[in-house]
Amino acid sequence: MPSTEDLVVQPPRSVTFRVHIDRAMWVGGVRGLMLQALHPLAMRGVWQNSDFQDDPFGRLRRTADFVGRVTFGGPADADEIGRRVRDIHRRLRIKDPDTGRTHRVDDPELLLWVHCAEVSSYLEVARRGGLRLTDRQADRYFAEQRRSAAYVGLHAEDVPGSAAEMAAYFAEVRPRLRVTPEAAATVRFLLWPRLPARLRFLNPGKPLYFPFGALCYLTLPRWARDMYGVLPEIPSAAVTAALKAWRLGLNALPEPLHDHAFMPATRAMLTASRERLAAAGYDTSKGLKGLTDPRRWPTQASARPSQD
């Protein structure tokens, strides 16, 4: 019988599985984009090389596809999307108007910033929203995420592998961060998207979107909110309560309904993962989310060391 690692990159006993299956990831994803925007060169790379403003939700869904494949996909899924991402990044360049220099999108410094902004956001939002993880499990999450970083071309030893290492990384990089016009425009856009013509029919729903965008912004670190200065401060306890309520509501959605938020290819990958795990003896009657309960694992998997 194949090992669980042959079925999914991050097995159900991993901390990554618990964090990434949580619906708080939607808040974490947008928060991550807002945080990433504070790095001038990284932001200009997005601005100059993507259709971000023409396809406002496409980048988030593509990020969700990557995260899904390097978490719930099989090794072949992860290897394939890793090659695809590295090939795309290898061809792209960034023109820095401040210096006139041209930079590669796959510059390790930029890749590391994007990785750290994303995974720190995922973990922070999930824990603040109510996902119970010990500090040891938080460290294990960052250690596991070194594998995801390797898929985009980073060396595992160069990536923070604990909460302390992640905090030290942000302390080191913060002096290089600033709010460029592109960053300010991106945050305003994420709070109140200007929809392209083909999506204008969604405009009546924008007032309903704003509380979500504001929640993503208000979960940013205080130093990042101080840099942006876009929204007035709200008591931390109120933000946490709103995040917990939002997470609770989304986590209550049936998995087939929730999965419609993903691209069709992502949904197909998740279905294939459920089928592989079911064939290996996992009880997937409650979907992948149900596998956060070890009682739904086969006996041999339950007997393996936990991540506690």
Sequence-distant (6+) residues with CB within 8 A of 56 are: 189, 193, 194, 195, 196, 199
Contact 228, 31 (CB under 8 A): no
Structure tokens at 268: 């197909």
Would you say residue 293 lies in a domain? no
In a domain, 296, yes or no: no
Say what the pLDDT of residue 21 is.
98
List the pLDDT tens digit at each of the 308 positions of the chain. 567 878 999 999 999 999 999 999 999 999 999 999 999 999 999 888 877 666 667 778 889 999 999 999 999 999 999 999 999 999 999 998 888 999 999 999 999 999 999 999 999 999 999 999 999 999 999 999 999 999 999 999 999 999 999 999 999 999 999 999 999 999 998 998 766 555 555 566 667 788 999 999 999 999 999 999 999 999 999 999 999 999 999 999 999 999 999 999 999 999 999 999 999 999 999 999 999 999 999 987 655 555 55
Total domains in the chain come to 1
**pTM of model > 0.95:** no
Whether 303 is in a domain gets the answer: no
CA–CA separation, 14 and 308 (whole Å): 10
Q: Strand, coil or helix: what is 280?
A: coil
CA geometry: angle 143, 162, 8, nearest 5 deg: 20
Q: Where are the beta strands (DSSP E) in the chain?
A: 93-95, 102-104
125 domain-assigned: yes
Task: Give the domain extent around 138.
Answer: 4-288
CA distance 133 to 102: 42
Q: Is 135 within 8 Å of 72 (Cβ atoms)?
A: no
